[in-house]
Chains A and B, each alone.
Chain A
Amino acid sequence: MPEIKTYREALREAIIHELDRDESVVLIGEDIGVYGGTQLITVDLLEQYGAKRVIDTPICEGGFTGAAIGMAMMGMRPIVEMMTMNFSFLAVDQIIQNAAKVRYFSGGQVKVPLVIRGPNGGGVQLSAQHTHSLESFYGHFPGLKVVAPASPNDAKGMMLTAVRDDNCVIFLEAGALYGTKGEVDEDNPIPFGKARIARDGGDITLISYGRQVALCLQAADTLAADGIDAEVIDLRSLRPLDEDAIVKSVEKTHRAVAVQEQWRWFGVASEVAAIIQDRAFDCLDAPVERVSGAEVPAPYARNLELAAFPDEQQVIEAARRVLYREEK
Chain B
Amino acid sequence: MIQVALVDDQVLFRRGMALLLRDMADVRVVFECSNGAELLTGLRDNPVDIVLLDVEMPVMDGMEAMKRMKELHPSVRTVMLSTHADDAHIVEAMELGANAYVLKTAEPEEIENAIRAVAESGYHFNNRVSQVMLHGLVQRQQVKPVYPEVDPLSERELEVLRAICQELTTTEIAGQLFLSPRTVEGHRNNLLLKTGARNTAGLVVYALTKGLYSP
Partners in one complex: no
